[in-house]
């Protein structure tokens, strides 16, 4: 009888540990993607399905053309987004309006989705610096002409 009790206890322990080690499945969620409008003078908002990670949001922005191909998030924690060098080149290779929109699309999408008030942006761990600005302070919501809410069918 004692052997059976010990075996049952061991079995419960193994099952419990196996359940704890399993990751929760990713559940799709809706996100508001901030994208440049047709005139490149403001934003539109489009709803999209995401897996809920900041990396997926950046990939969705790139897929929608808000960020150039190759832009990727290297890390996101505690309101700090570290982008790759392709993103750094992208914000440096455009005029003031393009820079504003590329940074605004990223910042607004992350702020809204994660419920943050501000985000610190870095590129490969460095403070982004362009011909127009040095982004050495936390960034807040970019309010330039947000309009039109598009929804996925």
pLDDT block averages, 10 residues each, the chain of length 153 = 46 46 68 93 94 97 94 96 96 90 96 97 96 94 67 50
Q: Given this model, what pLDDT does residue 153 score?
A: 47
Q: Would the pTM of this model clear 0.85, i.e. be above it? A: no
Does any domain span residue 8? no
Q: Given this model, what pLDDT does residue 105 score?
A: 96
Q: Given this model, what pLDDT does residue 24 score?
A: 52
Number of domains in the chain: 1
Q: What is the CA radius of gyration of the chain?
A: 21
Q: Given this model, what pLDDT does residue 145 score?
A: 61
Does any domain span residue 131? yes
Does any domain span residue 1? no
- Taking the CB of residue 34, how many other CB atoms lie within 10 A of it? 26
Q: Are 50 and 90 in contact (CB under 8 A)?
A: no
Does any domain span residue 12? no
Range of the domain at 106: 29-150
Q: Given this model, what pLDDT does residue 21 score?
A: 44
């Amino acid at each position: 009888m004692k052997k059976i009790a010990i075996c049952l206890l061991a079995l419960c322990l193994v099952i419990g540990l196996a359940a704890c080690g399993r990751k929760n499945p990713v559940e799709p969620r809706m996100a508001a993607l901030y994208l440049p409008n047709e005139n490149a003078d403001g934003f539109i908002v489009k709803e999209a399905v995401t897996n809920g990670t900041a990396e997926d949001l950046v990939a969705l922005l790139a897929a929608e053309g808000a960020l150039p191909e190759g832009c990727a998030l290297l890390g996101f924690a505690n309101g700090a987004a570290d982008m790759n060098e392709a993103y750094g080149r992208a914000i440096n290779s455009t005029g003031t309006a393009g820079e504003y929109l590329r940074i605004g699309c990223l910042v607004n999408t992350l702020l809204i989705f994660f419920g943050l008030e501000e985000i610190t942006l870095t590129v490969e761990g460095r403070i982004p610096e362009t011909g127009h600005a040095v982004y050495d302070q936390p960034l807040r919501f970019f309010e330039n002409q947000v309009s039109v809410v598009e929804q996925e069918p």
